[in-house]
Structure 1
């Protein structure tokens, strides 16, 4: 059973819609800037990929606003846009034929931070009753399901950066099990003071104040990454069912997936990222030479960048495949990153272009990595590999393939 993408919805730091994001990505327009929502002058880092100008009240009912964190508001809008793009009317479909699988790593920080402040400054009677669930990672799946009457399988994957890819892969599993349509993707937003402290606690955030130099994956000057908010939702359908309903377009197929865990850091054993790539290609029935581009995890940490370069080189050969990391324009979006890279892969297939890795200019020679930098690269893209790694050693990879004309 073939699972195909028929709708896309994006909210990203450098684009409030799919096409706005894609244009900004191709034109090297960044959404990384000094934090705007609180005074970060006392923090060791001050940059983030931020979505500016989003007003939830313009998109959602006044009833929903006090019940939801910003991350759920973003997820609701992105999911609705994906359905609109696919020209799906949920009310016209059987409710149990539609599912929702999402990923979120950080939860509703802003909502919880606000309510805890009320608890300590005004007393428990002032804490919102919605605090019982609005902070929860599963809130996005639940609210999307409720809003669109989707009573099929509902799941959430909580697995940091790799979770977004695993969620989309789980959506493919639900389609293969007989659910014709699943809304899937990932979204993050945790850029309030408490949330930013949580980001900083992992020790990987860049302290560089220059937005064009702070996040430089695969560069000799790499010194960490910039966190961000946003992500993407997609409509994933059984190809036969999509054709039967007259789907407006099919962007491509989720052809392969794999997920692994790394050994303990003190084990002396290597990362399983190479194995993840090989398993994903095998699942897709794709040879390494058929892959046209790799959308890299791009940690921005020298030892992790080197490890990823080595894994890619081991599978594809030194300088053997084009590699790119559009996330240098948004920051790392955790669970939102993988779905957004899937969007890039689908649009690369559609438009015949590979976006560049912004800001990175000096890739060490021994990485032997054919990184696309400077300008987008025109290419006939048929098959793309998307990689993601979460802190703690969780690896994921998906293969995206265009359909025959």
Structure 2
């Protein structure tokens, strides 16, 4: 079963559009995806209205500013210690006598918010903590605009059991590109999916040279402005491995028919090759506002969401095969995806811990994927089937995080 609607059919919203703007909940509003989504909303006031925001609580002033600017009804904050500062910020900035948003507090606050009355929920949370909000949004019948790839990867069977065809609209630029390119033919006519990768800041580097990579070098992505975890994942190409698993889950294309190709310019976001030899590519300058706007507005496009390609200027687009020796993460992700069960959760959780260890100077750059591979190997063959539960996923993650910390500590 594919999670996305047949691309030949216009998407039928799970919740009917109201007479006015489409009501949205944005999870992870102070992060990279969330702030860009709000930019799209503010530039299209007649099309969208945000009714709820969630954030961890690390950027309280920004969260309060967003809430008042958008006039939201509810705010969810994961960190209880941030509530007092948030309340003070809201009272200080709000007009006298105006109603303040209701504040939901705690680790389950975003999950509660994801089920509130609205048309679409944009899950822009980073990491597998986005799983419960993803499931809550689907269970409530909301359209899930999914930027939190980890929740699909670690909880694939759980998500697929809940999602109705067309209920998930992906926000990753690669998966938005695949969905658009798939409109050129039927699923039976698809030969392969080709996922593009910029190659990150270390394209062309040998494994030996990668061993000395510094935090500052790894955080300097050549094309995209993202949060630290996603930026490091892009540098190791773990992000691309996660996207291969995500593409498999979204489109039910076998892993052996999903390829990764390095495209440094990040203009062609992914491609679909059909059985007759024709390849359809989706191209646009690297700007996440385009896929975000498409997710929020689907099945309609949002005019002027982001700049298009400038065809009056000469340009060169390059494509290179992936160096699997220097960057073994994609191959490891394929193995994990084929194992299924709790293996993807182990892969993702171990990686998150290893990225943190690298950022703190406790692990070498090449040690990130090496450690993840060791943890996956020790995990062994996971239980598979439809009996997977959220508790199974969380238990596997807990073990993987603890084991990754042990290995990183030496």
Same fold (TM over 0.5): no
Higher relative contact order, chain-length normalized (CA < 8 Å, sep 6+): 1
> TM-score with structure 1 length normalisation?
0.29
Q: Which has the higher strand share?
A: 1
* Structure number with higher helix proportion: 2
